Amino acid sequence: MNNYPHEYELSLQQPEKFWLQQAKQLHWFAEPQQGLRPNENGTADWFVDGELNIAFCALDFHVDNGRGDQLALIYDSPVTATKSTYTYRQLRDEVAQFAGLLKKQHVKKGDRVVIYMPMIPQAAIAMLACARLGAVHSVVFGGFAPHELAVRIDDATPKVVITASCGVEVDKVIPYKPYVDEALELAAAPPQHVIVWQREICEARLQEPRDIDWQQALAGVTPAECAVMQATDPLYVLYTSGTTGKPKGVVRDTGGYAVALRYSMRTVYGIEPGQVMFVASDVGWVVGHSYIVYGPLLSGATTVLYEGKPVRTPDAGAFWRICEEYGVQVLFSAPTAFRAIKKEDPQATLLQQHSLDKLERIYMAGERLDPPTLEWTQEVTGKPVYDHWWQTESGWPMCANPVGIAEYPTKPGSATLPVPGYDIRILAPDGTELEANQQGAVAVKLPLPPGCLTTIWGDETRFQAGYLREFSGFYSSGDGGYKDDDGYVFIMGRTDDVINVAGHRFSTGEMEEILAMDPAVAECAVIGVADELKGQVPLGLVIVKDGVTIAPEVLSQRLVQRVRDEIGAVACLRQVHVVPRLPKTRSGKILRRLLRQLADGDSQVAIPSTIDDPGCVDELRQRLSD
Ligand code: COA
Ligand code: AMP
C-alpha cells in the first residue's frame, strides 16, 4: 500500500476536491459544498457554507451511532491515586450539563471562556462544553504564573474563567485558585464569574457571588443543546510564545480543524475507531487540544488523560504501565519525556514488567527528536518510533510518516515527509527555493490546508507581519531546516528568539523584558542552551548598572525568582550570570548566536567580523565554562 504520492499530489493540485472528500468523514448539520474561499492575504477560509458542531461530532454523533457504551476517556492520575472512565454517553451527558451551567451564566456563542485547569477530566469537559455552546475557549497551561494568566485574560476578555482548586505536581499540591484570584486582580477587565471545580485534595476558598462552585451549581441545571456553528466560526484561542512579551492568540476555526484532525487520526496516527490513544502532554498545549481531546473523540477512539509525569509518579515505568493497562495502540509524548525515562531506567528494566503487545506505534514531537533518544526508544520497546513536526499554529502535523496511507522508512533526525495539504519549501532569505540538502527557512506555500491558524486574536496585523510577510505567498514557520534527496524534511530549530524547554515553547524576549525590569539591570540577554534532559533551557546574562553593589549571587537568585513569579517555574530559568560585557555588533545589537555557541561550549566559534569588542569573547567563554 502506498497512497501517499497520489494523495499528496491531489491535496496540492485539487485542494477543494481533496478536502471536501475528507469532510465527508464528519457529521455536518449542513454539508459544505464549497471547499476553500481565498482571502486577500493569500490564506483561505475553509468550508465557508458548512455548518456543524465539533462537540456534537466528537460525542453525540458517536452516542447516536452505537458507541454510547464505549469508553471515550480514561483518567489516570497516579498523583492522586485516582482512576476513572467515561463512556461516550457519560461524557456527552456531563458536557451537556456543564454547558447548561455555562449557559445559565449567560455564556453564549462567540463569548470567550478562559480555562485554567490541571489534567483532570473536567478540563476536557469544560472545553467540550464551550464548543457545544459555540463559546470560544482559551485554555491556559496550569503551570503559568498569575501574570501570564492575567495577560491572556486581558487579551481574550472572557465572560467566565473556569478553574480547579488545585493541581498536583508529583507530590506538591499547587493551589490554583489563589493564582486565579491574583490574576483577576492584575487583569484590567476581569470576568464576572469564576467557576471552580473543588478537588478533595485541596478545597479552595470561594468569594461569592463572583466564584461559583462547579459541583454545587450543577444541581437542577438543564443540559444545553449543541449550537449550530459555521465552519469558519472560531473554536478556540490558544496563546503561544512569540518573540516579545505579549503572547500570540492563535485562532482556530471549527470546521477546518475538525476535518484536519479527523484526517490526521487515520493518515498520521493510523488510529481506527475503538482504539486507544495515550498522549502524554497537557490540555494547555496544542498537543493536548488536538490529540488528547478533539482528535481521538472525533474518531470514535478512546483517549487517556494522564495526570502525572513520565518519571517519579511513581517511577520510569509509568508510560509502560498505562500502555498495558488500557491496551494503548498509539503513545505520543515529547522526546524529553523519553529522555527522562531513559535517564532513570537506562536498561528499561521497568518495561520488562509490562506487556506492550497492543502498542503499535510511538510518536514524538514538540522539539527535535535527537537520534539517540529515537534509537533507544525503538530498541527497548521494539516498536516503530515516529518523529513528526508541527506547531501551535498548524494545529496538526505538517511533516510526518503517513503510516495510514503508506509505508516509508524513518530516517533519524527527520520528521519524514510533508503531510498531504502542506506544500513545504525550503527558502533562502531572498525567498528563492533552495535545493535538496541546503538549509534555509522552512515555509509552507499558501493556502494552508484546513485546521491551521486563521489569524491572531484581535491582531490581524501581527498575523500578517509574523507569518505572511517574510516570504510573499508563503507561511513562515519560524523553523530552519532542509530536505534531503528523497524529500525527507529535517527540522533543525527555531530561527527566532523562541526556545523549546522540555517540549514547551517560551520567548527569550519575554524573559529579557522581565530581567530588564529589575532596577539593578542595565542590559541583558537570555539565550537557549543545550540541555541533556530538556533539550534546551534558558540562560540569562546581565550587566549591572554603574554603582550597583549587590552581590552577583543575590542578584542572580532575585532574577531567577522574578521569572518564576512572572512566567512560572515551568520556564526553567535557573541560571543568570552577571557579566561585565556582552558581545555586540558595532551598531549595538547583541550577538545572541555567538552567545549560544559559547554557552554550548562550541570549540569552533567563528567570531563575526561585525563584533565591536572581540576581547569580551574569551572573557565570556571563561565565565560560561565556570
Ligand atoms: N502546574 C504547576 N507547576 C508546573 C506544572 C503545572 N502544570 N508543570 C510543571 N510545573 C513546574 C514543576 O513543578 C517544576 O517546578 P519546580 O522548579 O518548582 O520543581 C517546573 O515547573 C518545571 O517542571 P517540568 O518541566 O515538568 O520539569 P521536571 O524537572 O519536574 O520534569 C520532565 C522533567 C522531563 C519529566 C518533564 O519536563 C516532562 O514530563 N516533560 C514532558 C513535557 C511534555 O509532555 N511536553 C508536551 C509537549 S508534546
Ligand atoms: P509548539 O507551538 O509549542 O508546539 O512548538 C512548536 C515548535 O516546536 C516548532 O516551531 C519547532 O521549533 C518545535 N518542534 C515541534 N516538533 C518538532 C519536531 N518534530 N522536530 C523539531 N522541532 C520541533
Side chain identity at residue 447, one-letter code: P
Residue located nearest, by CA, to atom 13 of ligand 2: 367
Give the atom of ligand 2 at the shortest distance from the alpha carbon of 494: 12
Once rounded to an integer, what is the mean pLDDT over residues 252-274? 98
In whole angstroms, give the CA distance from residue 157 to residue 148: 14
Cβ of residue 285 lying under 6 Å from some atom of ligand 1: yes
Ligand nearest to the CA of 561: 1
Model confidence at 418: pLDDT above 90: yes
Residue located nearest, by CA, to atom 40 of ligand 1: 337
Is the preceding peptide bond at 175 cis, omega within 30 degrees of 0?
no
Mutate which of 116, 291, 293, 309 for ligand 1? The one with the most ligand atoms within 8 Å of its CB, which is 309
Ligand nearest to the CA of 391: 2
Angle of CA points 579, 584, 590, to nearest 5°: 80
Model confidence at 603: pLDDT above 80: no
Model confidence at 225: pLDDT above 80: yes
Once rounded to an integer, what is the mean pLDDT over residues 209-213? 97
DSSP secondary structure letter of residue 118: -
pLDDT of residue 60: 98
At 129, is the pLDDT very low, low, confident or very high (cuts 50, 70, 90)?
very high
User: What pLDDT digit, counting tens, does each position of 533-578 carry?
Assistant: 999 999 999 999 999 999 999 999 999 999 999 999 999 999 999 9
Q: How many Å from the N-terminal Cα to the C-terminal Cα in the chain? A: 56
Give the atom of ligand 2 at the shortest distance from the alpha carbon of 393: 2
Model confidence at 626: pLDDT above 80: no
In whole angstroms, give the CA distance from residue 503 to residue 491: 14
What is the dotted CATH code of the domain comprising 498-625?
Answer: 3.30.300.30
- Give the distance (Å) from ligand 1 centre to CA of residue 502: 8
pLDDT of residue 613: 85
Residue located nearest, by CA, to atom 21 of ligand 2: 368
Query: Residue 407 is placed in which grid cell?
Result: 509505508
- Give the distance (Å) from ligand 1 centre to CA of residue 445: 35
pTM surpassing 0.75?
A: yes
In whole angstroms, give the CA distance from residue 462 to residue 485: 35
Mutate which of 248, 281, 505 for ligand 2? The one with the most ligand atoms within 8 Å of its CB, which is 505
Mutate which of 169, 238, 342, 504 for ligand 1? The one with the most ligand atoms within 8 Å of its CB, which is 169
pLDDT of residue 623: 83
Grid look-up 524534511 returns: 489
User: What pLDDT digit, counting tens, does each position of 159-209 carry?
Assistant: 999 999 999 999 999 999 999 999 999 999 899 999 999 999 999 999 999
Question: Backbone dihedral region of 487: left (phi > 0), alpha (psi from -120 to 50 degrees) or beta?
Answer: left
pLDDT of residue 601: 85
User: What pLDDT digit, counting tens, does each position of 313-328 carry?
Assistant: 999 999 999 999 999 9
User: What pLDDT digit, counting tens, does each position of 373-405 carry?
Assistant: 999 999 999 999 999 999 999 999 999 999 999
DSSP secondary structure letter of residue 245: S
Query: Which of the pair, 242 or 334, is modelled with greater confidence?
Result: 334
Question: Backbone dihedral region of 398: left (phi > 0), alpha (psi from -120 to 50 degrees) or beta?
Answer: alpha
Residue located nearest, by CA, to atom 3 of ligand 2: 505
Ligand nearest to the CA of 119: 1
Once rounded to an integer, what is the mean pLDDT over residues 154-161? 98
Largest Cα span, the chain: 74
Ligand nearest to the CA of 341: 1
- Give the distance (Å) from ligand 1 centre to CA of residue 570: 6
pLDDT of residue 11: 98
What is the rounded average pLDDT for all residues in the chain?
A: 96
- Residue 506 CB neighbours (<10 A): 26
DSSP secondary structure letter of residue 448: P
Is 289 in contact with 396 (CB distance < 8 Å)?
no
Query: Which residues form ligand 2's pocket by a CB distance below 6 Å?
Result: 240, 286, 365-369, 387-392, 415, 477-479, 491, 494, 500, 505
Model confidence at 442: pLDDT above 80: yes
Query: Residue 623 is placed in which grid cell?
Result: 565565565
Helix (H) or strand (E) holding 313: none
CA distances from 182 to 210, 358, 393 (A): 14, 46, 29
Give the atom of ligand 2 at the shortest distance from the alpha carbon of 500: 8
- Give the distance (Å) from ligand 2 centre to CA of residue 477: 10
User: What pLDDT digit, counting tens, does each position of 109-122 carry?
Assistant: 999 999 999 999 99
Give the atom of ligand 1 at the shortest distance from the alpha carbon of 287: 48
pLDDT of residue 593: 87
Ligand nearest to the CA of 388: 2
- Give the distance (Å) from ligand 1 centre to CA of residue 547: 38
What is the pairing mode between strands 51-52 and 229-230? antiparallel
Query: Which of the pair, 146 or 609, is modelled with greater confidence?
Result: 146
Which stretches of 422-574 are assigned E, i.e. beta strand? 424-427, 440-445, 455-456, 474-483, 489-494, 498-501, 504-507, 521-531, 535-544
In whole angstroms, give the CA distance from residue 28 to residue 81: 40
Mutate which of 140, 338, 362, 390 for ligand 2? The one with the most ligand atoms within 8 Å of its CB, which is 390
Mutate which of 115, 304, 336 for ligand 1? The one with the most ligand atoms within 8 Å of its CB, which is 336
Once rounded to an integer, what is the mean pLDDT over residues 471-488? 98
DSSP secondary structure letter of residue 68: T
User: What pLDDT digit, counting tens, does each position of 5-56 carry?
Assistant: 999 999 999 999 999 999 999 999 999 999 999 998 899 999 999 999 999 9
> Which of these, 410, 362, 411, 402, lies nearest to 382 by C-alpha position?
362
Query: Which of the pair, 626 or 190, is modelled with greater confidence?
Result: 190
pLDDT of residue 625: 77
Cβ of residue 310 lying under 6 Å from some atom of ligand 1: yes
Grid look-up 517519579 returns: 312
Backbone angles phi, psi at 299, to 5 degrees: -95, 5
Cβ of residue 337 lying under 6 Å from some atom of ligand 1: yes
Backbone angles phi, psi at 157, to 5 degrees: 40, 65
Helix crossing, 335-344 with 371-381: angle to 10°?
Answer: 60
